[in-house]
Amino acid sequence: MSRLEAISWRSVRRILAILFLLTLAGCSPRPAAPQQTKSDPTTESWYPAAIRQLAAFNRDAEALFRSGKYDQAATIITNAQPVENRLLSAPHPTLAALEASSDLDDLYGRMLLRNQQYGWARTFFQKNVTRWKTWKPATPETEQRWKQAVLALAECDRRLSE
């Protein structure tokens, strides 16, 4: 074997070794991505303010509903829904947020029931049934809210069967 052949054969072996190592390096697991800690929205300053805003929407809409001003109540309910959605987007909403949301859903359900939209009303009452049935720890207040939602759901079912 000539010297030139020996050098080229050594170069080929080196290149093959490098390619082999690069292939092995490509098979190694990716380094773990830095873990991002997600903040809990319920601890942020906007969260209690949004609960108060939703509760105020509920009070105003309830007063209008009771006084027969249904269109104005419906406008407030519509305006309150983005606030409700933002509160419920938290992984673990607070009890106060669920109460305010429940009040809005109950009022919307009663509005729909009044307009003979029984299927839609049932959807809102069912949300409250599920919400309060699964809330832990159960309290006398949450038990009462669950019972109220069950009664509203039963009223929808009764009207649907008529």
Lowest-pLDDT choice from 11-20, 120-129, 142-151 = 11-20
pTM metric for this prediction = 0.76
Residue 78, SS3 per DSSP: helix
d(CA 96, CA 55): 9
Mean pLDDT of 40-60: 96
pLDDT at 15: 75
pLDDT at 11: 72
Average predicted confidence (pLDDT) for the chain: 89
Which three-class secondary structure string do you get for the chain?
CCHHHHHHHHHHHHHHHHHHHHHHHHHCCCCCCCCCCCCCHHHCCHHHHHHHHHHHHHHHHHHHHHCCCHHHHHHHHHHHHHHHHHHHCCCCCCHHHHHHHHHHHHHHHHHHHHCCCHHHHHHHHHHHHHHHHHCCCCCHHHHHHHHHHHHHHHHHHHHHCC
d(CA 86, CA 92): 12
The domains found in the chain, sorted by start residue, are: 44-160 (1.25.40)
Mean pLDDT of 114-130: 96
End-to-end CA distance of the chain: 102
pLDDT at 95: 96
Mean pLDDT of 86-96: 95
pLDDT tens, 137-155? Answer: 999 999 999 999 999 999 9
What's the pLDDT band for 38 if we cut at 50, 70, 90? confident
